[in-house]
Chains A and B, each alone.
Chain A
Amino acid sequence: MATNILEAQGIVKQFGGLTAVNNVDFVIPKGTICSLIGPNGAGKTTFFNMITGLYVPTSGSMIFDGQSIVGLKPDQVTARGVGRTFQNIRLFANMTALENVLVGQHTRLKANLLGILLQTRGVKAEEERARQRALELLEFVGLARQRMDEMSKNLPYGDQRRLEIARALATNPKLLLLDEPTAGMNPQETDALTRLMRQIRDELGITVLLIEHDMKVVMGISEKVTVLDHGGKIAEGLPEDVRANEQVVEAYLGKGAAAQGKGGGGVRKAVVQSAEGT
């Protein structure tokens, strides 16, 4: 049991009459990079939001690191060790890059009101350590040193994505959730980010779960791929198995295309090719 960082069972989320996530079982083994894919509206981000406490599942259990996290507030989930980024970047736009990362360390710092007003030695030392750590993290994600004091909204798009990852890492997560980290990036940036994700797992030992539309990234990096469609899990397994799964092709390209693919393999080849990035 201890080998899984997250175990979700029978997760259901309904918004009024709409079932966004329907009875999904989902397990993330410790130290892996897992992907959650599926067409738009499949329920991926809803699932993310349930892990991080923004939504409470209608039913089902969610065990993170041996403890249930159902019903916890987002900040409590973060304190337990789940970090995340957002699909549409949600940096603190009018704060500097460095301040953004410092905010990420909020739960790991202990300074209280009295300590801050008196500027006790402990608070000063902690603040200095936090600053050092923030600089290290910014360097780790590859943000240039001269950009640290820039207002985060003035950073180039790719840097904003990286900064968001640094901010999530600052929360000292055991599990890092990345919501479409490569969206809107060019191939070079995407490659760099893929390397970064690997580094996060290998060097920092953090388990990574990502939602991603870029099949090349997903297939290249994941040890396990889970496919959602219409709120239900339709496939799960190694990247190559998922890629070969009829239901998955169908979900992405429609029934007709899948049938055609079974016969001649033309369309299927296209999917596979694009997935391989040729």
Chain B
Amino acid sequence: MSRAINIGVWTGVFGLFIIVLFGGQSVLAAGLICGLLTGLLGGARTEGETMQAGVRDGLIAAAVAGVILIVSNVLRNIIITPLVGQNVPSTAEVLSFGIAGAAITMVLGAALGAAHFLPGRRSSYATWGILGLVILIYPFLDYSIQLGWLGIVITGLIFILLALGLNIVVGYAGLLDLGYAAFFAIGAYTAAFLSSSYIGDQLNFANPRVSFWLVIFIAAAMAGLFGLILGAPTLPLRGDYLAIVTLGFGEIVPIVFRNLDTFGITIFGHEFIKTFNLTGGELGISPIDPPKLPGLDFANRSDQRPWYFLLVLIILFSIFLINRLRRSRLGRAWMAMREDELAASSMGINIVRTKLLAFAMGASFSGFGGAYFGAFVGGAFPSAFDFSVSVIVLCMVILGGLGNIPGVIVGGLIIELSDRLFLPQITLLLQSIAQHNANNPSLSGLQRFDPTLYRTGLFGLVLVLMMQLRPEGLLPNARRKLELHAAQDSPAEAAQGRTDLYDVEAEAAGS
């Protein structure tokens, strides 16, 4: 009971945060998010409780959060909206939207709470069903209340796709890859070369434009191939050395793309390939053709819903494939290698080949994501693939819990949304408060404060705090948790207490 209230308060505070930042009708989106959180956390009690208890706790948490949502929507419109110079809507409108938001929260909270206590597998089916419904409804809600999150959510989902791939390399196989963005870049540039008119324009011929649906797979294969090329000489290296080599590769690739703006081969004065601008240098290559599908318009930049649904499908399919891998002979070999390389090779696992496969698999996911990213943004630019991309993706994997797919998704959403949505929105809000109160010295000073400048600092802070407080990640898989918290009382220590039988014999002989 008190736990449910507690959860309700915390999710409510998160909802308040969203409402204060975005105002308008964002209370509906806040309701959706709070509903998910209260339902998944509040309704999910220890085993053995009844379904009524699940519904009750979900409802209590959601009700508490809902009240906070209504109140904060009212307060936002009374205090902040005038400050920013927006029009204050009528009281009836403010209240009704607040109540609608609260209602969404409570419906979701109760439904998820109930789903948690359905018998057997039906529980997870129902939970996934509700989640699926939310995923389905979200873009329409976003579109109709003009929230404007969709583009950022799509970018976040691309990063989640990358994180899922990196999870194979780091989480399953235990290989620290710090240059993951390189494969992302290779994927994007492959798409740029194959499905834009760029190469043809440079060399004055009409090059064939390969369809997006083919390009994403070619890009994945290309990135996988580069993974093999990089991995073959370096993977026999262990731990730290591999990290350093991949770090170097991650730095080199964007630089190569940046510098290939004067590409040509001249040997002894003979020009084999005439010098030309291969990669567009700093400006990159654009535009890249969007995908074509009858009935869906990917080219319309103001409505990105087709992109969203396509990506959701891709991610679901990826999770499906990754799960198959994990439960197979290969997945087990990866994990065995992570646990104990020497024992794994003594069990017949070819270490180099297995590592190489994990590395190439991870790279192809990245290349796949890169091609999608290129088509979505409409271009490939070297600055989009710098070291920070590798770091962010690695943070997602670690934040969510190494080796755990739901954890990686949650971690990815948290990082991407705070980085690209909340932080810039805080800045925007502060700026507009300052602008509308230019004659108020205490408020106009906000003009000079820009939280986005602190983003790397905040990242670092979050990572340090995570490692201190919850090293197993937000949604740890059971293995990691045990590994990190129960190492003290492992039975292997019993071995230490063994007496060497020779000593006993010698003693017996000596007496």
List 7 A-B residue pairs with CB atoms under 8 Å apart, sorted by A's residue number: A78-B345, A79-B348, A94-B480, A95-B336, A155-B491, A157-B495, A167-B347
Q: Shortest distance in angstroms between A260's beta carbon and chain B's nearest beta carbon?
A: 10
**Once bound together, how far apart are the Cα atoms of A78 and B321, in whole Å?**
30
User: Which of A14-22, A112-120, A196-204, A231-239 participates in binding chain B?
Assistant: A112-120
**B505 and A75 contact, CB distance less than 8 A:** no
**A270 and B509 contact, CB distance less than 8 A:** yes
Which single member of A40, A103, A160 contacts B492 (CB below 8 Å)? A160
Taking CB atoms, residues of chain A closer than 8 Å to B328 are: 111, 116, 123, 127
Taking CB atoms, residues of chain A closer than 8 Å to B348 are: 75, 78-79, 104, 106-107, 171
**B509 and A267 contact, CB distance less than 8 A:** yes
**B329 and A92 contact, CB distance less than 8 A:** no
Taking CB atoms, residues of chain A closer than 8 Å to B90 are: none
Q: Does B300 contact A (CB under 8 A)?
A: no
Q: Does A32 contact B (CB under 8 A)?
A: no
Given contacts A106-B348, A116-B324, A116-B328, contact A270 B508 (CB under 8 A): yes
Q: Does B482 contact A (CB under 8 A)?
A: yes
Taking CB atoms, residues of chain B closer than 8 Å to A95 are: 332, 335-336, 339, 479
B interface residues, how many (CB within 8 angstroms)? 43
Q: Does B229 contact A (CB under 8 A)?
A: no
Given contacts A106-B329, A111-B329, contact A92 B335 (CB under 8 A): yes
User: Which of A5-13, A63-71, A83-91 participates in binding chain B?
Assistant: A83-91
Cβ < 8 Å to B, chain A residues 221-278: 252-253, 257, 267, 270-271, 274
Taking CB atoms, residues of chain A closer than 8 Å to B325 are: 116-117
**A86 and B343 contact, CB distance less than 8 A:** yes
**A75 and B339 contact, CB distance less than 8 A:** no
Q: Shortest distance in angstroms between B350's beta carbon and chain A's nearest beta carbon?
A: 5
Q: A92-B340, A171-B347 are known contacts; what are 8 more A-B pairs with Cβ within 8 Å? A: A39-B502, A78-B347, A103-B349, A104-B347, A116-B324, A153-B490, A156-B491, A252-B506
**Once bound together, how far apart are the Cα atoms of A123 and B328, in whole Å?**
9
Which residue in chain B gives the minimum CB-CB distance to A167?
A: B347
**B333 and A88 contact, CB distance less than 8 A:** no
Which single member of B357, B479, B483, B501 contacts A113 (CB below 8 Å)? B357
Which residue in chain A gives the minimum CB-CB distance to B339?
A: A92
Given contacts A75-B348, A94-B483, contact A40 B497 (CB under 8 A): no
**B505 and A109 contact, CB distance less than 8 A:** no
Q: Is the interface of B mostly helix, strand, loop or mixed?
A: helix
**Once bound together, how far apart are the Cα atoms of A81 and B197, in whole Å?**
57
Taking CB atoms, residues of chain B closer than 8 Å to A116 are: 324-325, 328-330
**B350 and A153 contact, CB distance less than 8 A:** no
Q: Does A215 contact B (CB under 8 A)?
A: yes
Taking CB atoms, residues of chain B closer than 8 Å to A106 are: 329, 332-333, 336, 347-349
Q: Shortest distance in angstroms between A132's beta carbon and chain B's nearest beta carbon?
A: 15
**A103 and B336 contact, CB distance less than 8 A:** yes
**Once bound together, how far apart are the Cα atoms of A75 and B480, in whole Å?**
27
Taking CB atoms, residues of chain B closer than 8 Å to A170 are: 347
Q: Does B498 contact A (CB under 8 A)?
A: yes
Taking CB atoms, residues of chain B closer than 8 Å to A213 are: 500-502
**A74 and B346 contact, CB distance less than 8 A:** yes
**Once bound together, how far apart are the Cα atoms of A183 and B497, in whole Å?**
11
Taking CB atoms, residues of chain B closer than 8 Å to A93 are: 339-340, 483, 490, 492
Q: In this complex, which of B344, B346, B350, B490 has the most chain A Cβ atoms within 10 angstroms of its Cβ? A: B346
Taking CB atoms, residues of chain B closer than 8 Å to A92 are: 335-336, 339-340, 343-344
**Once bound together, how far apart are the Cα atoms of A155 and B506, in whole Å?**
32
**Once bound together, how far apart are the Cα atoms of A111 and B333, in whole Å?**
12
Taking CB atoms, residues of chain B closer than 8 Å to A113 are: 330, 357
Which residue in chain A gives the minimum CB-CB distance to B511?
A: A270
Taking CB atoms, residues of chain B closer than 8 Å to A103 are: 332-333, 336, 344, 347, 349
Cβ < 8 Å to A, chain B residues 474-511: 478-480, 482-483, 490-492, 494-495, 497-498, 500-502, 504-506, 508-509
Cβ < 8 Å to B, chain A residues 140-184: 151, 153-157, 160, 167-168, 170-171, 183-184
Taking CB atoms, residues of chain A closer than 8 Å to B494 are: 156-157, 184
**B501 and A214 contact, CB distance less than 8 A:** yes
**Once bound together, how far apart are the Cα atoms of A146 and B340, in whole Å?**
25
Given contacts A79-B348, A106-B329, A151-B479, contact A90 B498 (CB under 8 A): no
**Once bound together, how far apart are the Cα atoms of A156 and B491, in whole Å?**
6
**Once bound together, how far apart are the Cα atoms of A75 and B333, in whole Å?**
12
Taking CB atoms, residues of chain B closer than 8 Å to A97 are: none
Taking CB atoms, residues of chain B closer than 8 Å to A183 are: 495, 498
Q: Does A135 contact B (CB under 8 A)?
A: no
**Once bound together, how far apart are the Cα atoms of A78 and B357, in whole Å?**
21
Given contacts A167-B347, A253-B509, contact A90 B500 (CB under 8 A): no
Taking CB atoms, residues of chain B closer than 8 Å to A90 are: 340, 342-343
Q: Does A73 contact B (CB under 8 A)?
A: yes
Q: Does B153 contact A (CB under 8 A)?
A: no
